[in-house]
Chain A
Amino acid sequence: MKDIVIAGYARSPFHFATKGALTKVRPDDLAAHVVKGLIERTGVNPDDVEDLILGCAFPEGEQGFNMARLVVLMAGLPISVAGTTVNRFCGSSMQAIHMAAGAIQMGAGEVFICAGVESMSRVPMSGFNPMPNPALCESMPAAYMSMGETAENVGREYAVSREEQEVFAVASQHKAGEAQAKGRLSDEIVPIAVNGSSVDEDGCLRPTTDLEGLAGLKLAFDENGTVTAGTSSPLTDGAAATLVCSLEYANANGLKPMARIASIAVSGCKPETMGLGPIFSSRKALSRAGISAQDLDVIEINEAFATQSIASIRDLELDTAKVNIDGGAIAIGHPLGATGARITGKAAQVLQREGGRYALSTQCIGGGQGIATVLEVA
């Protein structure tokens, strides 16, 4: 087996969809800027890049065609670099990393750009033309269930109270706020030029969020439920990218490995409780890495909703002190296709920064799936 490493991570600032600073930026432009930034920061020779694998959850409209190939051209990469757009909804860009790892293992390339993007301003969730299969709607309505409803289901199944969710959300906001204030988020951000000014900070954070404020919010999805906008990740615009290569290549070419990919996994689960996906996929990945949850030093779990994050943390018996140290998606935002690359890059970055041996990045996926990656210090 070859050693495969993450040797670079960069992202755009994340901003609220439809009202944030990136609303007017095309997703392909956004991705191209971040890819360019990644190339410059890592110093990788672009001629060596085999493929640009780009995750996107709703690849239509401006995210349509084969966006990955277009991003290759827009980012000024050599014509020889290939591009493929992949969709595993929220797990898309983590899937990109997994595909690269698989390809390198197969000897099908040495260096890959594994990126993701979503402009939820410019391509709505569910896309412009949602046309579900009427027969499946009838026989298995959960297949198309809204994410908010699944969050409520998880909350009920795991008896996660509204207050518990709000404590979790406040913590996420505070952690992210502190990380931003101390400059821990700035290194990874590639500034984006919008109308002559440079957008170089995240826009979704609300570090002054408190329990009282959250307690006053209306229920977002179920009048008898517990989930509010404050305990859900916001609709977000953003892009993220990682550089994935063999350790051998990194060493030979002066790249700085951030972490080794120890194991990967995906799993299916019930669509109506898709938020539990991280439990099943993480168990597989931990087992494949030959470690247990207690061996983890850094955990990045995507906070699609507080309910499913809390349920997953509880079920996997994760140490909350190690979870989302720089804040999670409730505070930072969740541009669907970009999140997997962000949290995996972030896990590698935090592992480097904080020390320790193992890190886990994991997320839930609409339709009932989970995805997980175990990293080991490089």
Chain B
Amino acid sequence: MPSIQKVAVIGSGVMGSGIAAQAANAGLEVVLLDIVAQEGSDRDAVTKGAIQRMRKTNPAPLMHPRNAARIRPGNLDDHLEWLADCDLVIEAVLENLEIKKDLYSKINAHRGADCIVTSNTSTIPLDHLVADMPEGFRQHFAVTHFFNPPRYMRLLELVAGPDTQPEVITTLRDFGDRLLGKSVVDCKDTPGFIANRIGILWMGVAVRFAFEDGITVEEADAVIGKPMGIPKTGIFGLLDLVGIDLQPHVEHSMLSLLPEGDMYRDIHRRSEFIEKMIADGYTGRKGKGGFYRLNRSGGEKIKEALDLSSGEYHPAKKPVLESVEAARGGLRALVEHPDRGGQYAWRVLSHTLSYAAVLVPEIADDIHAVDEAMKNGYAWKWGPFELIDKLGARWFAERLAAEGMAVPPLLEKVGDGSFYRTQDGRLQYFGTDGAYHNVERAEGVLLLSDIKRSSERLAGNASASLWDIGDKVLCLEFHSKMNAVDEGIMMMAANALKMIPAQGYQALVIHNEGTNFSVGANVGLALFAANIAAWPIITESVKQGQDIYKKLKFAPFPVVGAPSGMALGGGCEILLHCDAIEAHAETYMGLVEVGVGLVPAWGGCKEMLLRWSDNPRYAKGPMPAVSKVFETIATATVAKSAEEARALLYLRPGDGIVMNRDRLLAHAKERALSMARDYTPPEPCELQLPGPSGEAAMTLVLNDFKRAGKATDHDVTVGKKLAHVLAGGKVDPTETLAEDKLLNLERTAIVDLLRTSPTLDRIEHMLETGKPLRN
């Protein structure tokens, strides 16, 4: 079976467009087809319009706007012959069996013999889809069910039919995993597959019980959100996001397909309240409002919540529930709490988790598939079986029984045990056969969490650890709060610098599995030191950071950064000092120090100047690199993807981008090993900078921004400090400046700024609210 290089996506709605965009992000050639435009002279207007929308949609489906050029728009009447050289056709049209069947006949007439065809159906069983199709088609057909938005939701449910060739599934799994970066979960051909099957029941019970138990919208979301490890949109915020009007369709479709006796049939209730909301246009964020709305009528934005009994909006209140407070002590503390929140939590969880337990093996071969699906498709922090383990399987079963609810056989079977355990350093799950089985990773996947389970850390403190990841490669892991760079991380980096040559290691990888690689330096400490005027300590800690980052850069072994998520400020700077970076495609790098009234001072200014000065495609002379870096740092530009980071030169041309996060560490390790052979550290560079004339030019720009209302007074103060650093201070353009001299300028600038009260106000505000203060 040939590898997939050219993909056709049919249907350019939200899902089809999103899938096409992600395929383009993966560097594939994409054909996007939809019906002929009903109006106007351009017959391709539907798909062209979809591509236009991709450029504007937020969050962006495209990792870089230029990726849109990889998508060729067409229509189903004129361009079906384009399918002839496609390796894969993904159908994402309306959830209507007849329309899909009709389309498959057309596809079949034009596809190549080896071309795979998949459907993105969310509910229609595969066997219904291909019942009338010839064998050759059925052998090449599968369901690939993406989640919205396809770029950001990691789950891809893969369903094979009885006739689907095994190679087709292998090819699709590889395509989803390596090219699209998805977590591919094998599902059975059952209604709603895994995630929606459980998710729809979960939403159904959460909404129904909120109405029945007199729980407010804010309370429901507070109980369901953080305590259960579910995104803070909880349940009602989630419905607003996906569209309340979608629910009746989904519910209807599920009811028409689910087997007799399914728990959802008993649980489901029509809600006249919600039907009226939909009829009146209150469909959520896309409509007049939903369970929440932003009221802008008074000139300011006020978040309002809907009263589920009166149907009136009121300013959203932060709910006060003891149970939510108690949840800090664990999930069981939440559901055991006698208040309304605790009772509500139990009702939602008891139904949802026992439903999940009943459905294995009906919907999936094992519980791990179910947990992966809920975590990656609904962004739950823990899957249903991990939640049961948190409650205690035995405790959960007993409480179900005590309340007269059925205890699922699988739950009985696990007895006093747990659904997951670690055995001989391996993560194992409880199988339907009653035995534990290793959680197997796909070939080429290396997870730090697996390594941590099977080995002892070499060194560590509260903020960072060092791990042996095999083949004489060391990994520096951050695990401070939000992975903020602090003294502990610096100590562990210094430790790695000593340990690697001393103990015969070959290379260092800097990586962690946190949501964010690092949100930046721990500015709380800087604020504290400034408030007690501990200037020598501040200067020394800046110097210490500079020294350690510099040592990483010039170390006699390769250092490879492997970030995912946000890598900001000091977290970005450590990456800038790595010899190479292998970045997850969803990496958001940026030097955002100006947001807290500072300038990058752990070598960030210096490294960005070096990157732009070295860029052979950029204009020559003392100013172009400086201007570009000034623009990037002064506006705290954060790349919205690794691809954008490459355009901003946070990533260099030789740095790698890895679509699947689970493959990141393996790529980084491989890169480190390949560099370790015959490794020569970089030579220190001299910078050619413009000096005071360049600083004057940047100051002119700042003044213009101030006048236009785009910069505040303190923005100008910080900007001038930044300009002074980037211009090279008082250097004459005929001379060069050593890297160390630039570090001195960075240090002086940051300490000067820490002596200003607006900077301290910015830091304080950021620590308190998580948002920048515009003073």
Q: Which positions in A face B, CB cutoff 8 Å?
A: 61, 126, 128-134, 137, 141, 144, 146, 148-149, 219-225
Contact = CB atoms under 8 A, between A and B. Distances in A.
A131 B697 contact: yes
Top 5 nearest A-B pairs (CB, nearest first) are A223-B709, A131-B693, A129-B621, A129-B623, A128-B619
Contacts of B700: 130, 132, 137, 144, 146
A112 B300 CA distance: 64
B694 interface: yes
Contacts of A130: 623, 627, 697, 700
9 contacts: A129-B690, A130-B623, A130-B697, A131-B623, A134-B693, A137-B699, A144-B696, A222-B709, A223-B709
Contacts of B703: 141
B325 interface: no
B619 A132 contact: no
Interface centre among A61, A131, A132, A149 (most CB of B within 10 A): A131
Given A146-B704, A148-B704, A131 B709 contact: no
Contact of A129 (B622, B695, B696, B699): B622
Contacts of A221: 704, 707-708
Contacts of A133: 693, 696
Contacts of B627: 130
B514 interface: no
B77 to A, nearest CB: 28
Nearest to A221: B708
A220 B708 contact: yes
A129 B697 CA distance: 9
Nearest to A126: B697
A141 B701 CA distance: 12
Given A141-B703, A221-B707, A225-B707, 13 more contacts: A128-B623, A129-B621, A130-B700, A131-B622, A133-B693, A134-B692, A134-B693, A137-B696, A148-B708, A220-B708, A221-B704, A223-B707, A223-B708
B624 interface: yes
Contacts of B708: 148, 219-223
B733 interface: yes
Nearest to B619: A128
A134 B695 CA distance: 8
Interface string B728-765: 00000100000000000000000000000000000000
A61 B690 CA distance: 18
A325 to B, nearest CB: 34
Contacts of A224: 709
A27 to B, nearest CB: 15
A24 to B, nearest CB: 15
Interface string B692-722: 1111110110011001110000000000000
A48 B690 CA distance: 45
B693 A149 contact: no
Interface in B608-627: 619-624, 627
Nearest to A146: B704
Given A61-B619, A223-B709, A131 B704 contact: no
A132 B697 contact: yes
Interface of B: 619-624, 627, 690, 692-697, 699-700, 703-704, 707-709, 733
A221 to B, nearest CB: 5
Given A134-B692, A134-B695, A137-B696, A149 B623 contact: no
Contacts, number: 61
Contacts of B621: 128-129
Contacts of B619: 61, 128-129
A132 to B, nearest CB: 5
A128 B690 CA distance: 12
Given A131-B694, A131-B697, A134-B695, A222 B707 contact: yes
B151 to A, nearest CB: 26
Main secondary structure of the interface of B (DSSP, over half): helix
A148 B627 CA distance: 20
A129 B622 CA distance: 7
A132 B693 contact: yes
A229 to B, nearest CB: 12
Contacts of A149: 704, 707
Given A146-B704, A148-B704, A221-B704, A132 B696 contact: yes
A131 B703 CA distance: 16
Contacts of A223: 707-709
A135 to B, nearest CB: 9
Contact of B733 (A131, A134, A144, A220): A131
A219 B709 CA distance: 9
A130 B704 CA distance: 15
Nearest to A130: B697
Given A61-B619, A137-B696, A131 B690 contact: yes
Contacts of B697: 126, 130-132
B683 to A, nearest CB: 26
A132 B693 CA distance: 5
B628 to A, nearest CB: 10
A141 B697 CA distance: 11
Contacts of B623: 128-131
A129 B692 contact: no
Interface centre among A128, A144, A222 (most CB of B within 10 A): A128
B704 A134 contact: no
Contacts of A131: 622-623, 690, 693-694, 696-697, 733
Contacts of B695: 134
Contacts of A148: 704, 708
B301 to A, nearest CB: 20
Nearest to B700: A144
Contacts of A134: 692-693, 695-696
A130 B707 CA distance: 20
A131 B624 CA distance: 11
Nearest to A152: B707
A219 B708 CA distance: 7
A144 B697 CA distance: 9
Contact of B624 (A128, A219, A222): A128
Nearest to A220: B708
Nearest to B704: A146
A103 to B, nearest CB: 33
A148 B707 CA distance: 10
B327 to A, nearest CB: 46
A222 B703 CA distance: 10
Contacts of B696: 131-134, 137, 144
Contacts of B707: 149, 221-223, 225
A128 B709 CA distance: 25
A129 B624 contact: yes
Contacts of A132: 693, 696-697, 700
A252 B624 CA distance: 52
Nearest to B624: A128
Nearest to A138: B696
A126 B704 CA distance: 14
A340 B707 CA distance: 30
B374 to A, nearest CB: 45
Interface centre among B623, B692, B695, B707 (most CB of A within 10 A): B707
Interface centre among A126, A129, A224 (most CB of B within 10 A): A129
Contacts of A222: 707-709
B693 to A, nearest CB: 4
Contacts of A128: 619-621, 623-624
Contacts of B704: 146, 148-149, 221
B700 to A, nearest CB: 6
A263 B733 CA distance: 44
B631 to A, nearest CB: 12
A222 B697 CA distance: 19
B403 to A, nearest CB: 61
Interface centre among B693, B697, B708 (most CB of A within 10 A): B708
Nearest to B706: A223
A221 B705 CA distance: 8
Nearest to A222: B707
Interface centre among B620, B624, B695, B697 (most CB of A within 10 A): B697
A132 B698 CA distance: 10
